[in-house]
């Protein structure tokens, strides 16, 4: 962990992985972001799932194994499960064991007939499927929440390629993809007026201080989120408010006044742009469900078949 953080802090511009947002407080803050009026992403995706759940369930079909990447509280999943025809098994995959088991327990209580097989795993790393999932009539990966946008396009492509091999030729992928829109809406979503996103961003420093014994002064950094047109993404930074030095392991990392530390990138796609990325991963977009304002998309993809 220390080596990875140091490598990011030695880079230009300096970076810190977004995984540092998420400790107990960070997960709470992320849930709070989803409830802010400015962060449209969760609200709009839920609207789409409510409206098109039955259509989506028809695509998935009966007796499918549903594998959810980064399942968290499995909230959107409930909307899907309510519409599904006798799913063979539901496998939530998440790295946060406590969160994963709590959510699986709550689902087991509410869906007693559903077979649930949680997997504590970093979904960006290769993993194999248990027999119950492997032997289902069809495997469908569900990856909601715009998280694909948090990966650089090459990494997103690698992740999609890994998913394709996991679902096999008869499987499919149901994925949430946030869309390009006017910069005002995008910047507002990542700069909510209640300052929740700012606290979430600063929490990465709090988390690193606790885990690695660093001495980031939280009041010496300021949250900044800007739309960068050329990269089609919102970039989240923590900007150093003064010239300062931070102790990290045996090193002193120097920050100039105004120097940014990049903590997250949130890529936004056009429908065609995402189809192009998917094609590089050997996937074909079969269906796209949108909200009325076309802010967000839920997409249905299948592996390209060789003629
Ligand atoms: C987790 N992910 C989809 C969020 C996003 O919108 O890219 C993370 C986030 N960062 C700030 N607000 C929300």
State the distance from the centre of ligand 1 to the C-alpha of 201, rounded, in angstroms.
10
Q: Is 197 in the pocket of ligand 1 (CB under 6 A)?
A: yes
| pLDDT at site 71 | 75
pLDDT at 58 over 70: yes
Average pLDDT over residues 134-163: 96
Q: How far apart are CA 199 and CA 211, in angstroms?
A: 18
pLDDT band at 156 (very low <50, low <70, confident <90, very high): very high
176, with CB counted inside 10 A (0-12, 13-18, 19+), is buried
Residue 35 structure tokens: 């409830």
> Per-residue pLDDT tens for 166-204?
999 999 999 999 999 999 999 999 999 999 999 999 999
Average pLDDT over residues 23-51: 94
| pLDDT at site 75 | 77
Q: How far apart are CA 268 and CA 283, in angstroms?
A: 19
Q: Is 41 in the pocket of ligand 1 (CB under 6 A)?
A: yes
Task: Judge whether 286 and 174 are in contact, CB under 8 Å.
Answer: no
Name the nearest CA neighbour of 110 among 71, 88, 81: 81
Name the nearest CA neighbour of 17 among 269, 267, 265: 265
Name the nearest CA neighbour of 82 among 127, 115, 59, 49: 49
Q: Which of 264, 268, 295 to mutate to test the pocket of ligand 1 (most atoms within 8 A of CB)?
A: 264
State the distance from the centre of ligand 1 to the C-alpha of 113, rounded, in angstroms.
33
State the distance from the centre of ligand 1 to the C-alpha of 42, rounded, in angstroms.
10
Q: How far apart are CA 94 and CA 82, in angstroms?
A: 22
Average pLDDT over residues 138-162: 97
Q: How far apart are CA 133 and CA 142, in angstroms?
A: 14
């Amino acid at each position: 962990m220390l080596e990875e953080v140091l490598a990011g802090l030695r880079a230009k511009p300096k970076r810190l992985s977004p995984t540092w947002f998420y400790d107990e407080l960070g997960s709470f803050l992320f849930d709070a972001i989803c409830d802010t009026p400015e962060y449209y992403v969760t609200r709009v995706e839920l609207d789409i799932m409510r409206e098109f759940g039955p259509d989506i369930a028809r695509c998935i079909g009966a007796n499918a194994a549903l594998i959810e990447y980064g399942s968290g509280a499995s909230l959107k999943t409930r909307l899907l499960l309510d519409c599904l025809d006798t799913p063979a098994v539901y496998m939530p995959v998440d790295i946060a064991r406590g969160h994963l088991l709590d959510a699986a327990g709550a689902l087991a209580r509410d869906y007693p007939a559903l077979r649930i097989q949680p997997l504590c795993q970093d979904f960006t790393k290769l993993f194999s499927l248990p027999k119950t999932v492997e032997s289902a009539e069809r495997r469908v990966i569900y990856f909601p929440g715009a998280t694909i946008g948090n990966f650089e396009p090459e990494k997103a492509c690698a992740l999609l390629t890994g998913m394709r091999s996991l679902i096999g030729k008869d499987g499919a992928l149901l994925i949430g993809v946030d869309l390009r829109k006017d910069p005002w809406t995008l910047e507002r979503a990542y700069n909510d007026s209640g300052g929740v996103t700012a606290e979430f961003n600063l929490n990465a420093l709090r988390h690193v201080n606790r885990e690695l014994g660093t001495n980031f002064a939280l009041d010496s950094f300021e949250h900044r989120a800007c739309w960068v047109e050329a990269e089609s993404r919102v970039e989240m930074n923590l900007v150093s408010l003064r010239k300062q030095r931070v102790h990290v392991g045996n090193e002193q990392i120097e920050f100039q006044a105004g120097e940014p530390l990049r903590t997250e990138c949130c890529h936004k796609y056009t429908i065609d742009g995402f189809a192009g990325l998917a094609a590089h991963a050997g996937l074909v977009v079969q269906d796209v469900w949108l909200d009325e304002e076309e802010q967000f998309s839920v997409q249905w993809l299948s592996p390209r078949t060789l003629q």
